[in-house]
Amino acid sequence: MTSESGGLDQFRLAFREEARELLVELESNLLEMNERPEDGELVGNVFRALHTIKGSGAMFGFEDLATFTHNLENAFDEVRKGRLAVTPELVDLTLSALDQIRAMAEADDGETAADPAACTEILARLRALMGKGEDAAGSIRHTAPAAKPVQGAANELGAAIEPRVQPGSGPEQAWKIRFAPGPDLMRNGADPLLLVRELRGIGRLTVEASTAGIPSLRELEPERCYVSWEMVLAIPAGGDRGQDAARAAGEDAIRDVFIFVEDSCELTIEPARVEPLADAALANTGAKEPVSTAVCTADVTARALEEKRRSPGRRATDQPDSASSLRVPAARLDQLVDLVGELVTVQARLSEFAAQSQENEVLAVAEEIERLTSALRENSMTLRMLPIRATFERFRRLVHDLARDLGKNVELTIEGAETELDKTVIDQLGDPLMHLIRNSMDHGVELPESRVAGGKRRMAKIHLSARHSGASVLIAVSDDGAGIDTEAVRARAIERGLAGADDPLTETEIFSFIFQPGFSTAKEVTDISGRGVGMDVVRQRVESLRGAIEVTSQRGAGTTVTLRLPLTLAIIDGLLVKIGDAFFVLPLASTLECIELTREEVEQANGKHVAYVRGEIVPYIRLRQYFNVGTPPPEREQIMVVECEDGRCGLVVDQVLGNCQTVIRNLGRFYRHVQVVSGATILGNGAVALILDPQRLVQEAIRAKIQRGGSRSCGTTRENGHPRGGTHQNATEHSVGAGVRAGASR
Amino acid sequence: MPVRFDRSETPGVIRLEGAVDIGCAAELKAALLEALTSKGEARISVETATGIDVTAVQLLWAAEREARVSGMVLALEGPVPEALRATLLEAGFERFPCAEDPEPVDEGGE
Amino acid sequence: MKQVLTVDDSSSVRQMVGFTLRKAGYEVVEAVDGRQGIEKARAQKCDLVITDLNMPQMDGIQMIAGVRQLPGYSFTPILMLTTESQPEKKDAGRKAGATGWIVKPFQAEQLIAVVQKLVR
């Protein structure tokens, strides 16, 4: 901010950012306008947003954008004044204009990203629409490009900028100026002395204040100016311009000085003869008092004043910005989070060394650093949190356009838009949500006629919601459409060989087929949801965010797809556990408690993998078996009880080492298919630990069980399945080695 | 407060501080009216003023004129800051009101 | 140092005004709409107010009238930013107590020149 070169580029970027936000706001306002065409507040919002885009655009060099937007602004001004009605056509036209504005705002110098033909057409249609209005012709003419301000404005701009007459040698033109402030001039905040000073900036000024009008003290109104001024201003005539042009420019420059007070003063400006400095003053003193010495010293004084006026400026640039929030490029935040990640790793090592050293002072420092690191981590994470609003809002447009294209009546409702999520998650959420909404619009929502025939509201509803749930955020897309035809899905699954003809399938299992690549039950392929490519992309994307998808649907009543996403991606709180020689991390958020499992208990359970936790049966998965760890188990193992979608489940490990903050590292492409592992981390001692995804572990176990033809009851799967009592015999087909030895799991 | 009438001294002194402008014009008028009722002599100090506008100038002007008519002395005490002097010169006033008293400047009031 | 209050719902305009005036040696306070503008003016005496006219919550004209009522603001110069050159806007502004106006778009130098016209 203090950089001297901060100038225009910085503002262009700021404008671009602002335009993006305004366009999103505009879009949702326009769409709401479709539903409530009479809502004056919406019209006001739209007008104001267009007005701001235009005004700021013109200021920061986006002239095309400003000119184009100005036309729209005019149209909505007409609407505001009740001269133009809000019609679906106007809304659609404006929406398509927004796309062009967006392109213009994103365009870099000299490059036109907008489609000129489309722009011309939009303007032509807009003009036609406004032609229906009463005063249309007038307002169109009024639309003259904003970049080239209309008549009056040009003068006003001149106030300061326009060719200020350049001082220099050569012939001079002289003006005699009489300036008598009216009663209100000073009450309105203007200061005559500053105006006189401003005249000095134009040329050589001789000035005389007349005090003749000052009444007696008692009668004097303290806030009214009684002094008037007689001045002679000599302006360099300026180079090659014709004399008339030069005179006109000169007079304009003088008038500009008084532009704010024109109406509250007496001002006469007349040409005067050019005369030498002192003579000029003498010649024009019709005054009572003797000629002042001011004439001679004015220049010196002016220079001194100039000096004085400038000096505080130097201090000024160092002043902190008093704005209460600031924009930071996302990349810098990413960098910060990366650095904090490194710090967390180093801190873990430090804590480890400190623990080994047994020195109290070192331990104290290590603890302090641990505390600070933890605070820093949380703090930097919150910096990246953004409300999901913008992502949600932009679907209004999608729903509007699709509804029109499909001939359906759909309203989009939004809930929990203020829910905050990590920026990375939000960025990657747009596509999956779009696919889900398209899918709902295309396959879920019925045509108005069949809705009415089925006794439903003609207007279908798509509901987008977001809410927090523990360390996750739940994002749901619901519709009140036809629901999923489970029989059709099952038939299609059997047809595609995804399931056997006689397989007993739960609803959840049937719904999961929807997310298989290339799976579609649509009778005809449409443009909207494409060729069944959408849903498996959704699954992949959500899973790459370490999220999960859940579908519920009721025939005839609608479908809800819920995405469960982690709040943050980069660092998690975990529990460090050990199995054999290998380390694993379990996310703390999903861990409920830890209980002991003795060899005796294992034997008593008759090969069933269940434990009794305060009278409740909890099935468990023996991770040493799952990961094929060859060493013999310890006498006492530990069951980590985790909460997952299918209920409580235990994960059996050898040893629980304690809490740890963990920076998640991706395993890389090669291990991408290993779903039960969500990443890896480097421990303080340099060892690598795999971060487990309990949810997936349990799901995989259930799936494996089903495929082996066992019972479908998910919880206690293994108890009545294969006799698998042995600890390290009978490795499952999941052979993810602890030393990052990975096989294909699935 | 930019305008303070110090009555503890004899003669009384109107002290003008900081920016003496339209915001305190009414106060200045009241102070000057009071000063004009005092017998024989009153003083004005602008030593610590940092700025002045035309409302103050015309008040001082009017007060000076009336003082002269009634035969009392209304004079500046202490120097006029350069910034104020410059403002007035720049605006075409030939002198600071109350400043060019026939009496020598160093006469003071002390 | 002279305090300038800039009131605009456009963040880029606020940024531009703020940056330009700070560089020219003024202290700048920002507000996003008329209501906040009045609050900030009340909280801190400013030597100049520059306000947009079209704003949510409270528009510029209302704000100008409101600021004029605040103690200490009877004679404070108030500039309105306007893209409309319609005289009725300006008149409304003047009636509410505005001192002058700047027509958008404007450049940094213009802004400084107009500000110097009103603040010493």
Q: Which residue has the higher pLDDT, A597 or A708?
A: A597
Per-residue confidence band for A221, with pLDDT thresholds at 50, 70 and 90: very high
Q: Which residue of C12, C30, C74, C86 to mutate against A (max A Cβ within 10 Å)?
A: C12
Task: Give the C-alpha separation, A215 to A223, whole Å.
Answer: 13
Closest-CA residue of B relative to A213 is B58
Backbone angles phi and psi of A46, in degrees to 5: -65, -45
pLDDT in tens, B53-90: 999 999 999 999 888 888 888 888 888 998 999 899 88
pLDDT value of residue A400: 87
The closest of A672, A666, A690, A676 to A733, measured between CA atoms, is A676
**CA distances in angstroms from A91 to A21, A25, A134, A405, listed in the order given:** 19, 14, 19, 15
Q: How many CB atoms lie within 10 A of CB B19?
A: 17
Distance CA A29, CA A31 (A): 5
Q: Chain B: residue nearest C71 by CA?
A: B23
C-alpha A713/C-alpha A705 separation (Å) is: 10
Residue A201 has pLDDT above 90, yes or no: no
Chain A residues close to C27, C-beta within 8 Å: 316, 319, 322
Q: Are A62 and A104 in contact (CB under 8 A)?
A: yes
State the average pLDDT over residues A665-682: 72
For residue B36, the chain A residue with the least C-alpha distance is A217
| Average pLDDT along chain A | 75
- Bridge partners (DSSP) of residue A492 are none
Partner residue facing C22 (CB), from A59, A259, A317:
A317
What 3-state DSSP class applies to A580?
coil
Do A386-566 and A4-148 fall under one CATH topology? no
Confidence class of residue A595 from pLDDT cuts 50, 70 and 90? confident
pLDDT surpassing 80 at residue A662 = no
Task: Decide if domain C3-118 falls under CATH 3.40.50.2300.
Answer: yes
CATH code: domain A386-566 is 3.30.565.10
pLDDT at A324: 54
Domain boundaries, chain C: 3-118
Q: Report chain C residues whose CB lies below 8 A from the CB of A60.
A: 12, 16
What pLDDT sits at residue B1?
Answer: 64
Q: For the ranges A239-253, A389-403, A443-457, A551-565, which has the lowest average pLDDT?
A: A239-253
- Over residues A416-442, mean pLDDT: 86
pLDDT (tens digit, 9 = 90+) per residue, A29-60? 898 888 888 888 889 889 889 988 888 888 88
Query: In which band, very low, low, confident or very high, does the pLDDT at A669 lie, cut at 50, 70 and 90?
Result: low
> B57: which chain A residues are within 8 Å (Cβ-Cβ)?
227
Residues 53..72 of B with a Cβ closer than 8 Å to C: which?
none
Percent of chain A with pLDDT over 90: 12
Q: Is the backbone peptide bond immediately before C105 cis, with ω within 30 degrees of 0?
A: yes
The whole-number average pLDDT for the span A139-152 is: 36
Rounded to an integer, the average pLDDT of A637-659 is: 85
Q: Give A513-551 pLDDT, tens digit per residue.
A: 888 776 765 544 444 444 444 677 788 788 777 788 889
Q: Which residue has the higher pLDDT, A667 or C111?
A: C111
Please determine, for residue A2, whether its predicted confidence score (pLDDT) is greater than 60.
no
State yes or no: pLDDT of A110 exceeds 60: no
pLDDT band at A633 (very low <50, low <70, confident <90, very high): confident
Query: Which residues in chain C touch residue A319, judged by CB atoms under 8 angstroms apart?
Result: 22, 27
pLDDT class for A693, splitting at 50, 70, 90?
confident
DSSP string for residues in A19-66: HHHHHHHHHHHHHHHHH-TT-HHHHHHHHHHHHHHHHHHHHTT-HHHH
Give the residue from A49, A31, A20, A24 showing the smallest Cα distance to A92: A31
Higher pLDDT, A477 or A285: A477
Give me the mean pLDDT over the B11-26 stretch.
Answer: 90
A701 is written with which tokens? 């176990």
Residue type, B1: M
pLDDT in tens, C29-75: 999 999 999 999 999 999 999 999 888 888 899 999 999 999 989 89
> CA A515 to CA A547: how far, in whole Å?
14
Domain spans of chain A, in order of start: 4-148, 156-305, 330-384, 386-566, 571-720
At residue A138, does pLDDT exceed 60?
no
Alpha helices (H) in A294-422, listed in sequence order: 294-316, 330-357, 360-383, 389-406
Is residue C75 less than 8 Å (CB to CB) from chain B? yes
What is the distance between the alpha carbons of residues C30 and A186, in angstroms, rounded to a whole number? 26
CB atoms A188 and C94 under 8 Å: yes
Predicted local distance difference test score (pLDDT) of residue A573: 75
Q: Do C24 and A159 touch (CB under 8 A)?
A: no
Ranking A3-17, A434-448, C15-29 by mean pLDDT, the lowest is A3-17
Which chain A residue lies closest to C72 (C-alpha atoms)?
A189
| Chain A residues touching residue C22 (CB < 8 angstroms) | 316-317, 319, 321
3-state SS, A390-452, equals HHHHHHHHHHHHHHHHHCCCEEEEEECCCCEEEHHHHHHHHHHHHHHHHHHHHHHCCCHHHHH
Contact check, Cβ <8 Å, C12/A15: yes
Chains with 3 or more CB pairs under 8 A to chain B: A, C
Name the pLDDT band for C85 (thresholds 50, 70, 90).
low
Of A80-89, A558-567, A605-614, the poorest mean pLDDT is in A605-614
Give the nearest partner residue to B54 out of A192, A217, A231, using CB atoms.
Answer: A192
Which H or E run contains A612? Answer: strand A610-613
- SS3 assignment, position B56: helix
CATH 3.30.70 given to domain A156-305: yes
Q: What is the pLDDT of residue C63?
A: 94
Given CB atoms, is A185 within the 8 Å cutoff of chain B? no
pLDDT of C78 over the 90 cut:
yes
CATH assignment, A571-720: 2.40.50.180
The answer to whether A475 and A563 have CB atoms below 8 angstroms apart is yes
Checking if the pLDDT of A307 tops 70, the result is no
Which CATH superfamily, name and number, covers A4-148? HPT domain (1.20.120.160)
Q: At A145, which amino acid appears?
A: P
Average predicted confidence (pLDDT) for chain B: 84
Q: With CB atoms and an 8 Å threshold, state whether B62 touches A217.
A: yes
Least reliable range by pLDDT among A160-174, A215-229, A532-546: A160-174
Give bridge partners of residue A387 from the DSSP assignment. A420
> Whole-angstrom Cα distance, residue A701 to residue A222?
90
Residues of C in contact with A314 (CB under 8 A): 25
ipTM at complex level? 0.89
Report the DSSP beta bridge partners of residue A650.
A620, A641
Q: What's the rounded mean pLDDT across residues A638-657? A: 85
Distance CA C80, CA C71 (A): 20
CA gap A149, C88 in Å, rounded: 18
pLDDT band, very low/low/confident/very high, at C94 (cuts 50, 70, 90): confident
How close C38 comes to chain A (CA, Å)?
16
Q: Is A183 on the interface with B (CB under 8 A)?
A: no
Contacting chains of A (3 CB pairs or more, <8 Å) are B, C
DSSP string, A224-254: S---EEEEEEEEE--SSS-HHHHHHHHHHHH
Q: How confident is the model at residue A725 (pLDDT cuts 50, 70, 90)?
A: very low
Q: Does B91 contact A196 at a Cβ distance shorter than 8 Å?
A: yes
Q: Which of A61, A224, A222, A76 minimizes the C-alpha distance to A147?
A: A61
Residue B9 — very low, low, confident or very high, per pLDDT cuts 50/70/90? confident
- Report the chain C residue with the minimal C-alpha distance to residue A143: C84
Look at the alpha carbons of B51, B53, B56, B58 in this order and tell me if their dihedral is positive or negative. Answer: positive
Name B105's Cβ contacts closer than 8 Å, sequence gap at least 6. none
Distance between CA atoms of residues B7 and A1, nearest Å: 51
What is the pLDDT, as a whole number, of residue C84? Answer: 58
- Measured between CA atoms, the residue of chain C closest to residue A262 is C100
In this predicted structure, which of A133-137, A396-400, A573-577, B82-86 has the lowest mean pLDDT? Answer: A133-137
Q: What integer is the mean pLDDT of A632-653?
A: 85
pLDDT of residue A239: 56
Domains and CATH numbers, chain B: 3-107 (3.30.750.24)
Report CB contact under 8 Å: B23, C75. Answer: yes
pLDDT at C32: 92
pLDDT at C107: 81
Per-residue pLDDT band at A111 (split at 50, 70, 90): low
Give the pLDDT confidence of A710-719 residue by residue, as tens digits: 444 434 333 3
**How many other CB atoms are there within 10 angstroms of residue A264's CB atom?**
19
> Which pLDDT value is given to residue A109?
59
For residue A301, name the pLDDT band (cuts at 50, 70, 90).
very low
Average pLDDT over residues A366-381: 85
Confidence of residue A420 (pLDDT cuts 50, 70, 90): confident
pLDDT at C88 > cutoff 80: no
Query: DSSP character for B24?
Result: G
In a 3-state reduction of DSSP, which class is residue A521? coil
Q: Confirm if A178 and A266 have CB atoms less than 8 A apart.
A: yes
